[in-house]
């Protein structure tokens, strides 16, 4: 499979790297230390057009695909994962579902604001008792005259306390007990309230929130995918989450690549017993293994993204390649960030060097967007069905 980057893709990648270095590097620790939402960085992303990379051109975006999104997210993730996650929500979150499966009115209402960085849409999937097992979800929506009424309590919505709108996955019990679909809800709609913002180990600039949807009126125009007894809507929703998984994998490659870069620099400068530590075979081998793993994970992400783009954005995403890329990139990022701390010795454990933040930040990506265990379950199921 040919995954040579075009000149335009190389330019976009270089632009993202330059932007991350110029604007985001020096402030990356601030969001973490202060648990501060990187609002300023979101404005910079929007000004550069990065919030609209995957939004179709007719709605003010660049109309690019999964590979371009992955290239940008890797470069941002290498420097400031909190900022990358905000970008990811615009590139690979609910706007994808709206662009691919929303009607004209829904696209018109949301996508230009997404591209402009003025509408962050929180993902309302997980519930306190339904994470990996989405089918245990309790959220329910019922017809109420011409509209609908939603009753839901969602957990772990990334940036839910700052979102302008929510993409809420819910049961449609009137269509069947297992019917599930998705609706859009404005954050300021009566009955919507943020009940808790979680304090976290890492990614402390962009926390997850618990959000209650208490008897919320949902106009029919805001039903994005109506649940059906055959489960078509839910399959489509799950397929759309594959874009998010790809972006998650790309950010993991970014963190790993960033931690590797920091480690090479440190190992070249640190003198122990009169020698640079990079000249010690034990350290050199660590760097060799780290760089090989980063390269392998990156190729898997590019392969899956290229395949998704080649299929077309309204087509099912390549589930096997994406699950493999996510599992591998999640694991590699943790291993590489961990080794980076080891190479930095005692300093690696202090908050004076970025590698400890990278280690904490990236940990959550092995849980969000479907845990590594769930990816492996999916891979095994697809192999059983004959996928290669
Ligand atoms: C940083 C971060 C961001 C997130 N952002 C969002 C968001 O924006 N919107 C949203 O809706 N959710 C979000 N989530 C929630 C995330 O999707 C869930 O945490 C995840 O799906 C796991 O669900 P759970 O926490 O309920 O764990 P559980 O489902 O209770 O799982 C607990 C453990 O059991 C394992 N397990 C469960 N079932 C199986 C199985 N069948 N086989 C093997 N192992 C299994 C899991 O892998 C895990 O290790 C986010 C989470 C994190 C950490």
| DSSP labels, 306-330 | HHHHHH-TTSPP-HHHHHHHHHHHH
- Taking the centre of ligand 1 as the mean of its atom positions, its distance from the CA of residue 325, in whole angstroms, is 18
Domains of the chain in sequence order:
7-115 (1.10.540.10), 121-225 (2.40.110.10), 232-384 (1.20.140.10)
Is residue 376 lining ligand 1, measured as CB closer than 6 Å?
Answer: no
- Predicted local confidence at residue 315, as pLDDT: 77
Does 131 sit in the ligand 1 pocket, CB within 6 Å? yes
At residue 211, does pLDDT exceed 90? yes
Give the Å distance between the CA of 132 and the centre of ligand 1. 5
Helix (H) and strand (E) counts in the chain: 13, 10
Q: Using CA atoms, how far apart are residues 302 and 298, in angstroms rounded to an integer?
A: 6
Beta carbons within 8 Å of 273's beta carbon, 6+ residues apart: none
CB burial readout 36-47, b (16+ within 10 A) else e? ebbeebbebbbe
The reported pLDDT for the residue numbered 314 is 73
User: Does the complex come out with an ipTM higher than 0.90?
Assistant: yes
For ligand 1, atom 48, name the residue with the nearest CA. Answer: 371
Model pLDDT for residues 146-199, shown as the tens digit of each residue: 999 999 999 999 999 999 999 999 999 999 989 999 999 999 999 999 999 999
Q: How far is the CA of 139 from the centre of ligand 1 (A)?
A: 17
Q: Compute the average pLDDT of residues 206-230.
A: 98
Nearest CA to ligand 1 atom 29: 132
Q: Residue 381 — pLDDT band, cuts 50, 70, 90?
A: very high
Residue 316 has pLDDT above 90, yes or no: no
Task: Give the atom of ligand 1 at the shortest distance from the alpha carbon of 154.
Answer: 11
**Predicted pLDDT of residue 172:** 98
Give the Cα separation of 258 and 358 in Å (integer).
Answer: 8
CA of 149 to the centre of ligand 1 (A): 27
CB 231 within 8 A of CB 180: yes
- Non-local (6+) Cβ contacts of 146 within 8 A are 219, 220
Choosing from 368, 370, 372 the residue with most ligand 1 atoms within 8 A of its CB, the one to mutate for a pocket test is 368
């Amino acid at each position: 499979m040919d995954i040579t980057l075009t000149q335009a893709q190389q330019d976009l990648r270089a632009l993202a790297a330059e932007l991350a270095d110029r604007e985001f590097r020096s402030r990356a620790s601030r969001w973490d230390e202060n648990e501060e939402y990187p609002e300023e960085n979101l404005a910079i992303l929007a000004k550069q057009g990065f919030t609209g990379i995957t939004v179709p051109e007719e709605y003010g975006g660049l109309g690019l695909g999964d590979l371009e999104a992955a290239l940008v997210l890797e470069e941002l993730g290498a420097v400031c994962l909190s900022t990358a996650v905000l970008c990811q929500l615009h590139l690979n979150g609910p706007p994808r579902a709206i662009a691919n499966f929303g009607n004209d009115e829904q696209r018109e209402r949301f996508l230009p604001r997404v591209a402009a960085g003025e509408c962050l849409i929180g993902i309302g999937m997980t519930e306190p008792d339904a994470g990996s097992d989405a089918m245990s979800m309790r959220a329910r929506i019922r017809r109420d005259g011409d509209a609908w009424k939603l009753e839901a309590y969602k957990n772990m919505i990334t940036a839910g306390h700052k979102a302008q709108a929510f993409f809420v996955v819910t049961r449609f019990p009137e269509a069947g007990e297992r019917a599930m679909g998705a609706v859009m809800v404005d954050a300021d709609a009566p009955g919507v309230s943020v009940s808790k913002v979680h304090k976290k180990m890492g990614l402390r600039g962009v926390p997850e929130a618990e959000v209650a949807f208490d008897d919320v009126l949902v106009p029919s125009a805001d039903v994005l995918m109506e649940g059906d007894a055959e489960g078509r809507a839910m399959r489509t929703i799950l397929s759309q989450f594959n874009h998010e998984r790809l972006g998650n994998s790309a950010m993991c490659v970014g963190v790993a690549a960033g931690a590797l870069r920091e480690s090479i620099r440190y190992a070249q400068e640190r003198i122990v017993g009169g020698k640079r530590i990079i000249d010690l075979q034990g350290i050199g081998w660590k760097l060799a293994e780290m760089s090989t793993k980063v390269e392998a994970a990156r190729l898997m992400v590019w392969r899956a993204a290229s395949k998704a783009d080649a299929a077309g954005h309204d087509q099912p995403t390549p589930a096997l390649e994406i699950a493999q890329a996510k599992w591998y990139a999640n694991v590699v990022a943790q291993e590489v960030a961990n080794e980076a701390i080891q190479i930095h010795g005692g300093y690696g454990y202090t908050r004076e060097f970025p590698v400890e933040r990278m280690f904490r930040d990236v940990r959550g990506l092995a849980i969000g967007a479907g845990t590594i265990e769930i990816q492996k379950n999916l891979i095994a199921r697809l192999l059983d069905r004959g996928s290669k």
